[in-house]
């Protein structure tokens, strides 16, 4: 059998890998539902490019399929070492130190997956996981689509890419991700189907029925559309019961807090979106409480109770909470949800009654929470709340009778002895529970080395707690609240973590609360006083609420409880964020990035790469239908492909982008030679008037690449004898060359345009050249016919 590949095989080692790579990258867009920002897409693109380029290069030199797959995984390993370690040999080759470093990164990535709340930040561990996962998917898709010739089987692999983020995200996956994935997969199947059809019919052009309803493209596209529609109507694809645009799962369009917290710095919701408008709060800087977390698990941080009671409807008079005497001045507060869709109906202070809320909400008397069994967007509701607060003197007299509360609030099992020792060290010199709690809060002040910072480490286990408390001292509100509540438990003080929002900023007649105001703090129980707020987080933007009992001078304090706190600092100065719109608030360390900033900003290079990729696919499709335009399409495709890779690489590093350009430039001669070889052989198979000329031109180019000496004065027979002699052509090759020479002479001088034996003879001559005069590496990378072309005699 001839070593020269068939047209289908040539297509499989050139165009099909590129389409498979595009399909993999489009499917990876599903990760946008679980990873913050778009930075990760550049890393995924580089992984796909490395895998695809390795496969193209090795198949071009006819490497065995098994070796190609293994080499792709090795290339992926080199990429991971280069991007995520600093101890690789020559920067890319893994050694013992690099493997150890990589193992630590992967351990952190596992922690991020186990404890992170989607969308997780695009941290180094997550980026490493993306590169490995998408890289392995690219290897599988490339192997199935190219080596195995079974692109339809790629659907199962690609479905897994969608299934993983769909199972993790509470929101629907982006609609455009489904569109990209379905379109690219349809293109992969259509290209394969069209070329199989072409091979069966043994003709170079698609049949006229290619655009009919029964064509492979139409059938594949119709099946995909019907499948996606069925997913919306029947199967409920997606984590909340439907594809984008489908119904079910409680609807969409709202933001929600997660009912748990841990040491991960992930409470921020990303973009700055308004959640609530509050009226009647006045100058109070009090926090809006959504939920409380009573349980500490050393493997998972603070978590909600196993079950919440549903015996107290929230639309009835609410009974006093533990430690509450049921008195106090009532303040009517109107809370208008704007973009909030949640299980929780946030409340201020101690709720006495809620008005205008729908049925199906319940009040948890122990936890102080109002909740629903299913996420919902609430109408504007009015809370009648007791906003009075105790004084420091009242709290010092509270005592230690904790019979009113559940024992879960005192549980201190599993706390590391080093943490217990720290709690003892901080509180031993204090005589009252209030002074102990106050000492714990003051322990986290900046003067003690602590710093507030968003997007910190993602781990939530005991090691992360100790890292925060004893070494880094850098954390987000969840770290501070979790750590203080745990120290309080270690000191024998009943505590819990509360999650909700800071007071927001004044906007006209209401206070606007946005996703940037998401916050966590600590609540400590005092007998006869109830749950009291302590906030250890050292915010720097004026949003911290400083309760009067934590700031008053014990020598001048009166014992009269206050029902109104001092105005927060943000209201005292008209130049602060209290007078600003959400879009105008400064991007401080305590805020999530606003649209167009930080990790949510989409780099312009990504748009440029997407445009180039779309143009590349369009040009390839046109060239596939109009073979006469192939010669003009080749340089356009090469340029667009280079620009696509360049822009994707520039997202990571401009130095990397320049390196990509250098590498691409180095492969241009070999790529052009391969395209010319493919084009001429296609012309030979076409059996037209130009077939003989194409065959002779290609044989002369093969001979020229191998260093043959040629003369413009040579006749066809003289050139053939020179080719046979200089390349030691074997007997089979010589016989086939005689057939080619005869066909060329009849075409050029006898007017005969068709010769059924030409194609087989041409293949045999090329195979003979490869047997007796294989091309060296230099001739493959820098073909002589490209670098120093010559005109063959016609």
The strand pairing partners of 706, in sequence order, are: none
* Final residue in a domain of this structure, among 588, 619, 636: 588
Residue-level pLDDT at 313: 93
Residue-level pLDDT at 228: 45
Does the structure show a pLDDT above 80 at 403? yes
- What percentage of the chain exceeds 90 in pLDDT? 18
Residue-level pLDDT at 113: 66
Are the C-beta atoms of 145 and 16 separated by less than 8 Å? yes
Question: Band of the pLDDT at 433, cuts 50, 70, 90?
Answer: very high
Dump pLDDT digits (tens) for 253-288.
455 565 444 444 445 445 578 899 999 988 778 999
Residue-level pLDDT at 332: 94
Q: Are residues 558 and 501 in the same domain?
A: yes
R_g of the chain, CA atoms, integer Å: 35
- Which residue from 567, 559, 537 is spatially nearest to 389, judged by alpha carbons? 559
- Which residue from 680, 709, 695, 700 is spatially nearest to 742, judged by alpha carbons? 695
Backbone dihedral region of 446: left (phi > 0), alpha (psi from -120 to 50 degrees) or beta?
A: alpha
Top-confidence residue, 587 or 289: 289
Question: Band of the pLDDT at 118, cuts 50, 70, 90?
Answer: low
Q: How many CA atoms lie less than 13 Å away from 724 in the CB half-sphere? A: 17
Q: Are residues 179 and 271 in the same domain?
A: no
Q: Which of 69-78, 343-352, 656-665 has the lowest mean pLDDT?
A: 656-665
Residue 185 belongs to a domain = yes
Does the structure show a pLDDT above 50 at 486? yes
Cis peptide before 738 (omega within 30 of 0): no
Residue 500 belongs to a domain = yes
d(CA 783, CA 794): 22
Q: C-alpha dihedral over 642, 644, 647, 651, to 10 degrees?
A: -120
Residue 309 belongs to a domain = yes
Q: Are residues 52 and 113 in the same domain?
A: yes
Q: Are residues 567 and 443 in the same domain?
A: yes
Q: Are residues 233 and 344 in the same domain?
A: no
How wide is the angle at C-alpha 612 spanned by C-alphas 610 and 617, nearest 5°? 95
Top-confidence residue, 557 or 779: 779
Residue-level pLDDT at 438: 94
Query: Coil, helix or strand for 616?
Result: helix
Does the structure show a pLDDT above 50 at 558? no
Dump pLDDT digits (tens) for 173-207.
677 777 887 888 888 877 766 555 555 544 444 33
Dump pLDDT digits (tens) for 306-328.
778 888 999 988 999 898 888 88
Question: Band of the pLDDT at 571, cuts 50, 70, 90?
Answer: very low
Dump pLDDT digits (tens) for 15-34.
778 888 888 888 888 888 77
Mean pLDDT within 756-768 = 89
Q: Are residues 271 and 245 in the same domain?
A: no
The strand pairing partners of 786, in sequence order, are: none
Residue-level pLDDT at 117: 56
**Diameter of the chain by CA atoms?**
119
Are the C-beta atoms of 469 and 263 separated by less than 8 Å? no
| Residue 725 burial by Cβ neighbours in a 10 Å radius (0-12, 13-18, 19+) | exposed
Residue 794 belongs to a domain = no
Residue-level pLDDT at 655: 66
Dump pLDDT digits (tens) for 604-625.
777 788 888 888 788 877 877 7
Backbone angles phi, psi at 404, to 5 degrees: -80, -15
d(CA 171, CA 267): 16
d(CA 341, CA 515): 12
Does the structure show a pLDDT above 90 at 484? yes
Total domains in the fold of the chain:
3
Residue 652 belongs to a domain = no
Residue 596 belongs to a domain = no
Residue-level pLDDT at 257: 64
Residue-level pLDDT at 574: 34
Mean pLDDT within 501-529 = 90
Residue 624 belongs to a domain = no
d(CA 600, CA 529): 44
Residue-level pLDDT at 611: 87
**CA 362 to each of CA 82, 354, 372, 374: distance values in angstroms, whole numbers, following the listed order:** 54, 11, 6, 12
Q: How many CA atoms lie less than 13 Å away from 613 in the CB half-sphere? A: 22
Q: Are residues 263 and 114 in the same domain?
A: no
Q: Which helix (H) or strand (E) holds 73?
A: helix 65-84
Residue-level pLDDT at 533: 94
Q: Are residues 227 and 335 in the same domain?
A: no
pTM for the model stands at 0.46
Residue-level pLDDT at 460: 45
d(CA 521, CA 531): 12
* Final residue in a domain of this structure, among 555, 588, 621: 588
DSSP structure string for 160-189: HHHHHHHHH-SSPPPHHHHHHHHHHHHHHH
- Most confident by average pLDDT, 77-91, 528-542, 718-732, 770-784: 718-732
How wide is the angle at C-alpha 250 spanned by C-alphas 247 and 256, nearest 5°? 130
Task: Locate 741 and state its tokens.
Answer: 């020479």
DSSP structure string for 468-492: IIIII-EE-HHHHHHHHHHHHHHTT
Q: Which of 250-254, 537-541, 640-644, 734-738 has the lowest mean pLDDT?
A: 250-254
* Final residue in a domain of this structure, among 570, 588, 606: 588
Question: Band of the pLDDT at 791, cuts 50, 70, 90?
Answer: low
First-residue to last-residue Cα distance in the chain: 31
DSSP structure string for 268-313: --SS--EEEEEES-TT----EEEEEE-EEETTTEEE--S----SSB
Backbone angles phi, psi at 378, to 5 degrees: -85, 150
Q: How many CA atoms lie less than 13 Å away from 737 in the CB half-sphere? A: 27
> With DSSP H G I counted as helix, E B as strand and the rest as coil, what are the percentages for the chain, rounded to 5?
50, 10, 35
Q: Are residues 237 and 296 in the same domain?
A: no
Average pLDDT, rounded, for the chain: 76
| Residue 726 burial by Cβ neighbours in a 10 Å radius (0-12, 13-18, 19+) | middle
d(CA 545, CA 306): 30
Q: Are residues 703 and 569 in the same domain?
A: no
Residue-level pLDDT at 87: 79
Residues of the domain holding 71:
7-249
Does the structure show a pLDDT above 50 at 251? no
Residue-level pLDDT at 686: 82
CATH number (domain holding residue 469): 3.10.620.30
Q: Are residues 359 and 384 in the same domain?
A: yes
Top-confidence residue, 26 or 12: 26
Residue 37 belongs to a domain = yes
- What percentage of the chain exceeds 70 in pLDDT? 75
Q: Are residues 198 and 327 in the same domain?
A: no
d(CA 372, CA 362): 6
């Amino acid at each position: 059998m001839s070593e020269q590949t068939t047209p289908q095989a040539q297509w499989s080692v050139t165009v099909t890998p590129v389409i498979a790579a595009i399909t993999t990258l489009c499917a990876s867009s599903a990760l946008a539902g679980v990873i913050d920002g778009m930075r990760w897409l550049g890393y995924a693109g580089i992984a796909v490019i490395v895998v695809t380029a390795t496969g193209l290069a090795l198949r071009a030199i006819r490497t065995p399929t098994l070796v190609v797959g293994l080499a792709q995984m090795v290339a992926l390993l080199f990429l991971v070492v280069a991007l995520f370690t600093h101890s690789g040999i020559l920067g890319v080759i893994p050694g013992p130190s690099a493997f150890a470093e990589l193992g630590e990164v992967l351990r952190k990535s596992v922690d991020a997956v186990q404890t992170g709340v989607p969308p997780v930040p695009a941290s180094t561990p997550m980026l490493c996981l993306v590169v490995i996962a998408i890289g392995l998917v690219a290897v599988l898709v490339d192997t199935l689509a190219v080596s195995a010739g079974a692109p339809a089987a790629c659907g199962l692999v690609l479905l897994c890419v969608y299934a993983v983020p769909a199972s993790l995200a509470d929101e629907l996956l982006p609609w455009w991700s489904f569109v990209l994935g379905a379109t690219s997969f349809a293109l992969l199947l259509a290209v394969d189907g069209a070329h199989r059809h072409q091979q069966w019919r043994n003709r170079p052009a698609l049949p006229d029925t290619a655009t009919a309803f029964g064509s492979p493209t139409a059938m594949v596209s119709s099946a995909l559309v019907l499948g996606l529609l069925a997913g919306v109507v029947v199967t409920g694809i997606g984590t909340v019961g439907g594809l984008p645009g489908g119904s079910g799962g409680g609807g969409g369009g709202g933001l929600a807090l997660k009912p748990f917290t841990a040491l991960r710095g992930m409470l921020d919701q990303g973009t700055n979106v308004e959640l609530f408008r509050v009226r009647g709060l006045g100058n109070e800087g009090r926090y809006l409480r959504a939920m409380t977390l009573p349980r500490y698990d050393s493997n998972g941080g603070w978590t909600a109770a196993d079950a919440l009671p549903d015996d107290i409807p929230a639309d009835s008079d609410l009974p006093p909470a533990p430690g509450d005497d049921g008195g106090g001045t009532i303040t009517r507060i109107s809370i208008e949800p704007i973009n909030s869709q949640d299980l929780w109906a946030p409340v201020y202070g101690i709720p006495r009654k809620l008005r205008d809320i729908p049925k199906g909400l319940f009040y948890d008397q122990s936890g102080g929470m109002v909740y629903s069994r299913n996420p919902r967007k609430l109408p504007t509701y009015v809370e009648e709340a007791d906003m009075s607060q105790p004084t420091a003197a009242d709290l010092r007299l509270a005592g230690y009778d904790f019979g009113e509360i559940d024992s879960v609030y005192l549980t201190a099992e599993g706390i590391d002895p080093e943490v217990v020792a720290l709690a003892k060290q901080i509180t031993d010199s204090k005589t009252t529970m209030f002074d102990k709690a106050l000492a714990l809060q003051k322990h986290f002040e900046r003067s003690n080395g602590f710093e507030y910072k968003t997007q910190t480490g993602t781990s939530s286990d005991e090691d992360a707690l100790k890292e925060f408390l004893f070494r880094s001292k850098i954390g987000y509100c969840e770290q501070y609240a979790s750590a203080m509540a745990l120290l309080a438990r270690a000191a024998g003080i009943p505590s819990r973590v509360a999650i909700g929002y800071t007071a927001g900023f004044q906007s006209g007649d209401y206070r606007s609360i946005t996703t940037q105001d998401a916050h966590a703090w600590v609540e400590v129980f005092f007998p006869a006083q109830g749950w009291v707020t302590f906030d250890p987080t050292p915010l720097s933007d004026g949003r911290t609420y400083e309760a009067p009992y934590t700031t008053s001078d014990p020598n001048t304090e009166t014992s009269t409880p206050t029902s109104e706190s001092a105005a927060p600092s943000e209201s005292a100065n008209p130049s602060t964020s209290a007078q600003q719109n959400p879009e105008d608030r400064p991007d401080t360390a305590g805020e999530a990035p606003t649209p167009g900033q930080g990790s949510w900003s989409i780099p312009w290079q990504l748009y440029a790469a997407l445009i180039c990729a779309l143009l590349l696919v369009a040009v390839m499709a046109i060239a596939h239908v109009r073979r006469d335009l192939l010669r003009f399409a080749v340089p356009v495709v090469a340029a667009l492909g280079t620009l696509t890779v360049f822009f994707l690489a520039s997202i990571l590093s401009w130095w990397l982008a320049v390196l990509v350009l250098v590498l691409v430039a180095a492969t241009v001669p070999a790529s052009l030679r391969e395209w010319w070889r493919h084009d001429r052989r296609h012309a030979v198979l076409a059996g037209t008037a130009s077939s003989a000329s194409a065959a002779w031109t290609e044989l002369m180019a093969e001979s020229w690449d191998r260093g043959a000496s040629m003369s413009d004065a040579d006749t066809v027979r003289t050139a053939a004898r020179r080719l046979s002699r200089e390349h030691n052509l074997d007997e089979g090759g010589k016989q086939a060359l005689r057939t080619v020479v005869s066909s060329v002479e009849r075409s050029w001088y006898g007017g005969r345009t068709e010769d059924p034996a030409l194609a087989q003879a041409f293949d045999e001559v090329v195979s003979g050249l490869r047997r007796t005069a294989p091309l060296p590496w230099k001739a493959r990378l820098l073909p002589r016919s490209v670098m120093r072309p010559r005109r063959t005699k016609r």
